[in-house]
């Protein structure tokens, strides 16, 4: 089963950079402008990533989904995040943050103009997920925020429905 999510992203009014919602207070990763108004009803990238990672891992054993169509920078960042954590668990490096730096250096972004700020932006996004991975852990983080997960077999699926807004549809 593949799960479709739509990470929220927007465009900077000053420099037109695409920005994924990493926090409800953030600066534009390209021009540095403090972004004044945030859509607080939108789910943070971190929650999109962690929920779907737990789902995929349980469903088929890897964080990477079985099929994934990248249609915007939100999906692009998700895709890099999934690949990073699969690699992390395969390689088991001591210094996970250093491992992330190397991973980011090696990723390819399709044009130089985007590459200039997106690598840093993507690093911030994945680092946020990594921090939770190390402490308190994905399950603990989600339960703390959204309440306990039901115990039944499809617990993640029913739980994911509680994570609001981004749960667009399911494809069997
Ligand atoms: Zn900007």
- 15 Cα–ligand 1 center, Å: 4
SS3 call for 154: coil
38 Cα–ligand 1 center, Å: 14
Q: Is 143 exposed, middle or buried (0-12, 13-18, 19+ CB in 10 A)?
A: middle
Please tell me the predicted confidence (pLDDT) of residue 168: 42
Decide: 56 and 78 in contact? Cβ < 8 Å.
no
Dump pLDDT digits (tens) for 115-162.
779 999 999 999 999 999 999 999 999 889 877 776 655 556 655 665
pLDDT at 91: 98
Query: From first to last of its 172 residues, what are the pLDDT tens digits of the chain?
Result: 445 567 888 999 999 999 999 999 999 999 999 988 777 878 889 988 998 898 889 888 999 988 878 888 999 999 999 999 999 999 999 999 999 999 999 998 877 667 779 999 999 999 999 999 999 999 999 889 877 776 655 556 655 665 544 444 443 2
Ligand 1 centre distance from Cα of residue 16 (Å): 6
The domain tally of the chain equals 1
Helix axes 45-60 and 73-91, enclosed angle (nearest 10): 50
Range of the domain at 7: 2-171
pLDDT on residue 79: 93
Ligand 1 centroid from CA 65, angstroms: 31
pLDDT at 151 (0 to 100): 65
- Going from the Cα of 72 to the center of ligand 1, the distance in angstroms, rounded, reads 17
The owner of tokens 């399709």 is: 110
Q: What is the pLDDT of residue 148?
A: 78
The 10 Å CB-count burial string (b at 16+, else e) for 63-97 is: bbbeeeeeeebbbbbbbbbbbbbbebeeeeeeebe
Q: At what angle do helices 73-91 and 96-106 cross, to 10 degrees?
A: 130
The token pair that represents 169 in the structure block: 């549809």
């Amino acid at each position: 089963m593949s799960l479709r999510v739509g990470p929220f992203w927007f465009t900077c009014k000053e420099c037109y950079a695409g920005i994924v919602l990493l926090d409800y207070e953030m600066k534009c990763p390209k021009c540095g402008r403090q972004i004044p108004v945030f859509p607080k009803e939108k789910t943070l990238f971190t929650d999109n990533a962690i929920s779907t990672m737990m789902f995929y891992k349980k469903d088929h054993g890897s964080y990477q989904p079985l099929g994934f169509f990248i249609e915007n920078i939100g999906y692009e960042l998700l895709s890099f995040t999934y690949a990073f954590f699969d690699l992390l668990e395969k390689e088991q490096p001591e210094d996970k943050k250093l491992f992330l730096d190397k991973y980011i250096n090696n990723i390819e972004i399709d044009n130089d103009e985007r590459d200039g700020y997106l690598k840093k932006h993507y690093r911030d996004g994945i680092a946020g997920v990594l921090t939770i991975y190390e402490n308190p852990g994905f399950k603990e983080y989600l339960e703390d925020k959204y309440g306990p997960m039901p115990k039944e077999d499809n617990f993640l699926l029913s739980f994911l429905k509680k994570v609001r807004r981004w749960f667009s549809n399911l494809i069997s």
